[in-house]
Chains A and B, each alone.
Chain A
């Protein structure tokens, strides 16, 4: 029973990992940019949720809407300032540009918030499903994660700008030739990817303490998840998140918790070697 409980707990967190990874994989899928500012952006999501909660008393789940809007604007700014000019340059350029953004956010964040841990003091008690007892915040986080992923899906498949994003991801030149302003579409995609990272950060902040550096490990997890699900494939990223979350739930029940990253990244390398297109297959 302990096993099942840990597994479910892990999967619930996995939904949140999934949202962060969907953001990362969206940016990669649309513009082939490996976004190294993803982690600090998640940390900013944590802090903006915290500030809204601690200063204005906003319910953290309600705050997510504001956090998403903040993330969207932040992403548009990062794209316009740091990414757009190197978008057609070799990958190393955009990699370094986003890494620079990463350093800037961490630097400012350290100056403003210091590196001491913050905590959102918000509990909803726990919910018991038969013998399984789950913290309600995790359950709600999973629900919110599903909600945001569903919204993204609806946006990408049923709205004009969403379809334009898929068109640009599929063939940027053809999209331009059809009158789609690709620069704006790329900026929007980067904004949405960043918004998802902020939302994932906000959700994580409801159950773990955090600092401005806390995004780093989640960024790395997002990379593992993206590769598991096939880089550029949002649905794969969500499922990859569940897989990784499940593993994180199960591993500590049979061995010391310090083995978690060893096995995670072992899996990462294994997938890269054996099936580089991802466990779920993906468009190349």
Chain B
């Protein structure tokens, strides 16, 4: 069953069109990676899927419902959740308050205690730092807060934009391990990553975005072995 279906989606900024008819389907329970060079429209696609940018044409269907014209907060209420690039934490609020705000939506309210426990099990460090202002944490810890806040939203689909950006390889590896744990629990996820090798290695499926369109898609393993992908994104 498809959790997210993007059909013929076009969007951009003002006069500048970036996406030219993107088609993408995310299956329930799968971890999918979206690959592409800088400037091909990965973030534009995510912003349009989340409703931060208006679609020029095409549709976004989430859990069987057409959400193309819904506001971002209404999409979050349905369980469409983005962990944005650059974390975008509530830096002036404590770690605990950040997690609380993650659970703002009605659907998340009923699961606050369960999800809090889940997040603290996944990232024990956050439990220690719960009363600290999020802005004072290290980069790795802030990324944990960002993921934790996303999980608090009781996501049906969790989208992670540039999770490993600016983190040490070890921290990135730890975070990817957490993703595998989440995947085992049945969570559907979409990764957008500059660390293509690591991302495809943990994923089930992959899309390659170029010039505002999906150029290539397939099983993550087959993409890893694809010559073009290797040449363009893996430097092999």
- A interface with B by C-beta (< 8 Å): 160, 163-164, 166-167, 169-171, 173-182, 283
A-B contact pairs, 20 of them (CB 8 A): A160-B104, A163-B97, A163-B101, A164-B104, A166-B97, A167-B104, A169-B92, A171-B88, A173-B88, A174-B88, A174-B90, A176-B71, A176-B72, A177-B50, A178-B73, A178-B76, A178-B102, A178-B104, A181-B73, A283-B92
Asked whether any CB of chain A lies closer than 8 Å to the CB of B178, the reply is: no
Asked whether any CB of chain A lies closer than 8 Å to the CB of B84, the reply is: yes
How does the 8 Å CB contact mask read for B63-101 relative to A, with 1 for contact and 0 for none?
000000001110011000110100011111100010011
Asked whether any CB of chain A lies closer than 8 Å to the CB of B19, the reply is: no
Distance, CA A169 to CA B92, complexed state (A) = 10
Q: Looking at chain A's contact residues, is the secondary structure mostly helix, strand, loop, or mixed?
A: helix
- B interface with A by C-beta (< 8 Å): 50, 52, 71-73, 76-77, 81-82, 84, 88-93, 97, 100-102, 104-105, 108, 149, 153
Contact of B77 among A160, A175, A179 (CB under 8 A): A179
Chain B residues within 8 Å of A179, by CB: 73, 76-77, 104-105, 108, 153
Residue in chain A with minimal CB distance to B81: A177
Residue in chain A with minimal CB distance to B101: A167
Whether B101 lies near A164 (C-beta < 8 A) is yes
Distance, CA A182 to CA B76, complexed state (A) = 13
Whether B88 lies near A176 (C-beta < 8 A) is no
Whether A173 lies near B101 (C-beta < 8 A) is no
Chain A residues within 8 Å of B88, by CB: 171, 173-174, 177
Given contacts A171-B88, A171-B90, 5 further A-B pairs with CB under 8 A are: A173-B88, A176-B52, A178-B81, A179-B77, A182-B73
Q: How far is the CB of A85 from chain B (nearest CB, A)?
A: 16
Whether A177 lies near B72 (C-beta < 8 A) is yes
Q: How far is the CB of B57 from chain A (nearest CB, A)?
A: 23
Q: How far is the CB of B135 from chain A (nearest CB, A)?
A: 9
Chain A residues within 8 Å of B81, by CB: 177-178
Distance, CA A180 to CA B149, complexed state (A) = 13
Q: Considering residues B89, B90, B97, B102, which has the most beta carbons from chain A within 10 angstroms of its beta carbon? A: B90
Whether A170 lies near B73 (C-beta < 8 A) is no
Distance, CA A204 to CA B52, complexed state (A) = 44
Q: A164-B101, A177-B50, A179-B153 are in contact. Are A170 and B91 (CB under 8 A)?
A: yes
Chain A residues within 8 Å of B102, by CB: 178
Distance, CA A176 to CA B76, complexed state (A) = 8
Contact of B90 among A166, A176, A182 (CB under 8 A): A166
